[in-house]
Amino acid sequence: MSGPLPVLLDSNFGALDWGVVAVYFVLTTLLGARLAGRQANLRDFFLGGRKLPWYAVAGSIVATELSAVTFVAAPSMVFNPGGDLTYLQIALFSAFLARLIVGYLLIPAYYRREIYSPYEYMGNRLGAPVRSMTSALFALGGILAQSARVYVTAVVLELILDESLFGPLEAATGISGLVLAVWMIGMVAVLWTLLGGIATVIWTDVMLFLVFVIGAVTALLVVTAHLEGGFGELFRVGLDAGKLHLLDFDRDPTKAYTVWTASIAATIGMVAVYGTDQMMAQRIFCCRNERQARRAMISSILGQAVTVLVMLVGVGLFAYYSRYPLTGSDLELYQGNTERIFPLFIINVIPEGLTGLIIAGIFAAAISSLDSILSALSQTTMASVYLPLRRRRLGQRGAGTPATVEGPGEERRQVRASRMLVIFWGAVLCLAAQFIDLVTRHFASLLDLALAMAGYTSGGLLAGFLLAFLPLRINGYGFLFSAPLSVLMVFSLKWHHDPFPWTTWVVAAGGSLLLFSWIAAARRRERPVERFGWKLAVLAAGLALALWINVMGTFLRLNEAGEAVPVSIAWPWFAPVGCLTAFLLGWALADRKLENA
* Among 272, 354, 290, CA closest to 573: 272
Report how far residue 348's alpha carbon sits from residue 343's, in angstroms, rounded to the nearest whole number: 9
At 232, which amino acid appears? G
Report how far residue 266's alpha carbon sits from residue 575's, in angstroms, rounded to the nearest whole number: 8
CB hemisphere CA count around 552 (13 angstroms):
5
Report how far residue 149's alpha carbon sits from residue 145's, in angstroms, rounded to the nearest whole number: 7
Helix (H, G, I), strand (E, B) or coil at 569: coil
Residue 56's alpha-carbon distances to 17, 198, 211, in angstroms, are 28, 12, 15
Terminal-to-terminal C-alpha distance of the chain: 45
Phi, psi of 558, deg, nearest 5: -85, 130
Topology classification of domain 10-438? Sodium/glucose cotransporter (1.20.1730)
Q: pLDDT at position 409, please?
A: 67
574 close to 269: Cβ distance less than 8 angstroms: yes
Report how far residue 281's alpha carbon sits from residue 102's, in angstroms, rounded to the nearest whole number: 10
Q: Where are the alpha helices (DSSP H) in 80-127?
A: 89, 95-101, 107-110, 118-126
Taking CA 200 as the corner, what is the angle to CA 96 and CA 66, rounded to the nearest 5 degrees? 30
397 contacts: CB under 8 Å, gap ≥ 6: none
Helix (H, G, I), strand (E, B) or coil at 278: helix
Report how far residue 49's alpha carbon sits from residue 36's, in angstroms, rounded to the nearest whole number: 10
Report how far residue 230's alpha carbon sits from residue 210's, in angstroms, rounded to the nearest whole number: 25
> 308, exposed or middle or buried, with CB in 10 Å at 0-12, 13-18, 19+?
middle
340-399: pLDDT as tens digits: 888 888 888 888 888 888 888 777 777 766 777 787 788 778 777 777 777 777 766 664
Report how far residue 276's alpha carbon sits from residue 271's, in angstroms, rounded to the nearest whole number: 8
At 318, which amino acid appears? F
Element (H, E) at 197: helix 177-225
The verdict on pTM exceeding 0.85 is no
The pLDDT profile of the chain, 597 residues, written as one tens digit per residue, is 444 444 444 456 677 888 888 887 787 777 666 655 554 444 555 454 566 788 888 887 887 777 667 777 788 889 988 889 998 998 788 988 999 999 999 999 888 877 778 888 898 889 888 988 998 888 888 888 888 778 877 877 777 776 667 777 777 887 888 888 888 888 888 887 776 556 666 777 777 777 778 888 888 999 989 888 888 999 999 999 999 999 999 888 888 889 999 999 999 999 998 999 887 887 888 788 889 999 999 998 888 888 898 899 999 999 999 888 888 887 888 887 777 888 888 888 888 888 888 888 777 777 766 777 787 788 778 777 777 777 777 766 664 444 455 555 666 777 788 788 888 988 888 888 887 777 776 666 666 777 777 788 999 999 999 999 998 888 888 999 999 999 999 988 887 765 557 778 888 888 899 988 888 887 776 655 556 678 888 889 999 988 888 877 666 665 566 666 667 788 889 999 999 999 999 999 988 764 443
* Among 529, 295, 330, 338, CA closest to 448: 338
Residue 131's alpha-carbon distances to 22, 126, 384, 385, in angstroms, are 41, 8, 7, 10
Spans of all domains in the chain: 10-438, 442-597
552-578: pLDDT as tens digits: 766 666 556 666 666 778 888 999 999
Length of the chain: 597
Report how far residue 344's alpha carbon sits from residue 70's, in angstroms, rounded to the nearest whole number: 16
Handedness of CA 491, 576, 76, 237 (dihedral sign): positive
